[in-house]
Amino acid sequence: MNNLNLVVLGAQWGDEGKGRLVDWLAGQADIVARFNGGHNAGHTIVIDGKSYKLSLLPSGLVRGKKGVIGNGVVIEPNAFFAEISRMREMGVDVTPDNLTIAETACLVLPIHKIVDQEQEKRRKNAIGTTLRGIGPAYEDKVGRRAIRICDLASPKLLEEKLDMLLAHHNAWLKGGGAETVEKQPILDELLKFAPELLSYSGPVWSMLDKAMNDGESILFEGSQAVMLDVDWGSYPYVTSSGTLAASAASGTGVGVNRIGSVLGVSKCYATRVGEGPFPTELADELGQFLQSEGKEFGVNTGRPRRCGWLDIVQLKQAIKVSGMSSIALTKLDVLDQLKLIKVCVAYEISGRISDLEAFSSPKVNNAKPIYEEFSGWECTTQGISSFFDLPEKAKQLIKRIEDLIEIPISIVTTGPDRLDTIVLRDPKSCM
């Protein structure tokens, strides 16, 4: 086991506050690597009151660290270059010297966005995707017709591949009465972006191998979260990539024995965007309170997030399938004003009580949460950076959650700034 490296993953349905933790942990890393998802992700980092909104770029760039985008990520060129421009305007320079993209990473094309929107329209039960073309881009990857960054070096091959890809999607679009998509504008755009995109590309897998052999440490930055994993999430209400720790290895070309410790990030309540099962959802005033107090609106889409109580059954599954070695518990301060706090410790499914259920199973659709109740501390914890300064009732809640999940809580956050962080133990020392 390599104890220099660390994987940071969302342990719920995304938006747990991974970006600011990655930014904070990047201080101890040499390289920050993205391994899954695309510009469907949204990470907000607040430094000295300045808010950086990242989607496709590794969060460590804001800290001046080297960034890597692995083969498991899908890249939309317009989104990529627009984000680089935004970062430059905020004083963060991004160049091929500090960012490398795997040459085998697949591209998200304008037709993928159109297909995503059309798929959502035609589905009987919409998934609530980000409508950015992510799903169709991954479909093309497993369908073996995707265009990869390395294809941009050969215009003839690129055109042939584009013909094949368009023939596939246009037949489907036409069949449902939608407008088909023309090749030339897409080809022109790809050829326009080709030289600059190629200048960022390289063999990420061997670059990371060399870096590790030289003693450098890598922070793997997960996007989305375990409950959105295409295998282990609440299928079909999932994203289209692998979001587990194992995906950090396959999505960058690093051996599984070298990925190190795994830090799962969970809010001390739960949220999800899009459709799908959410047993502890609060469709009432309390849910609205968590939404406004926690500013629970999508970074990318502005969509309000569904809110509910922390779900230990869900969290335990995420911990087990991902091999998480510790948990960062975020947004404790959002609970500050509550008189009563609930935590779901088991489900009742058709009269049977269970505390370990897989979200990939349809049984979870009928789960009724069983709660443990805690009285709230009703005072501010915002900005507290030492465990000892927390109110006693907050400490009791944290300790009880730790007992229930059976792995250590290494970090607690108490506000949006990177200094609003309590470190209980080094996540890299948790194996």
What residues are annotated to the active site? Answer: 15, 43
Contacting residues toward ligand IMP, per CB under 6 A: 13-15, 40-42, 127-130, 132, 134-135, 223-224, 228, 237, 239-240, 273-274
∠ CA 10-5-267, nearest 5°, is 20
Burial 163-194 (b: 16+ CB within 10 A, else e): eebbeebbeebeeeebeebeeeebbeebeebb
Q: How crowded is the C-beta side of 209, counted as CA atoms within 13 Å? A: 8
Nearer to ligand IMP, 17 or 260 (CB): 17
Region class of 32: left (phi > 0), else alpha (psi between -120 and 50), else beta: beta
Residue 127 CB, shortest distance to ligand IMP, in Å, is: 6
Nearer residue to ligand IMP within complex by CB, 41 or 61: 41
> Smallest distance, Å, CB 115 to ligand IMP?
11
Nearer to ligand IMP, 119 or 414 (CB): 119
- What ranges make up the beta strands (E) of 260-335? 261-267, 269-272, 306-311, 326-330
Q: At its nearest, how many Å lie between ligand IMP and the CB of residue 47?
A: 20
Closest CB to ligand IMP among residues 14, 323? 14
**Six-digit token string for 393:** 């009732």
Minimum distance of ligand IMP from residue 370's CB (angstroms): 26
Q: Which tokens go with 6?
A: 């660390």
Instruction: With beta carbons less than 8 A apart as the criterion, state whether 374 and 396 touch.
Output: yes
Q: Which residue is nearest to ligand IMP (CB)?
A: 274
Instruction: Measure the CA–CA gap between 191 and 168, rounded to whole angstroms.
Output: 21
Nearer to ligand IMP, 135 or 242 (CB): 135
Q: In what helix (H) or strand (E) does residue 101 lie, and over which residues does it extend?
A: strand 99-102
φ/ψ of 281, rounded to 5, equals: -60, 140
CB of 235 to ligand IMP, least distance (A): 11
Q: Least distance from C-beta 270 to ligand IMP, angstroms?
A: 12
Is the distance from CB of 106 to CB of 74 less than 8 angstroms?
yes
Neighbours of 239 (CB within 10 A): 28
Which residue, 234 or 381, has its beta carbon nearer to ligand IMP?
234
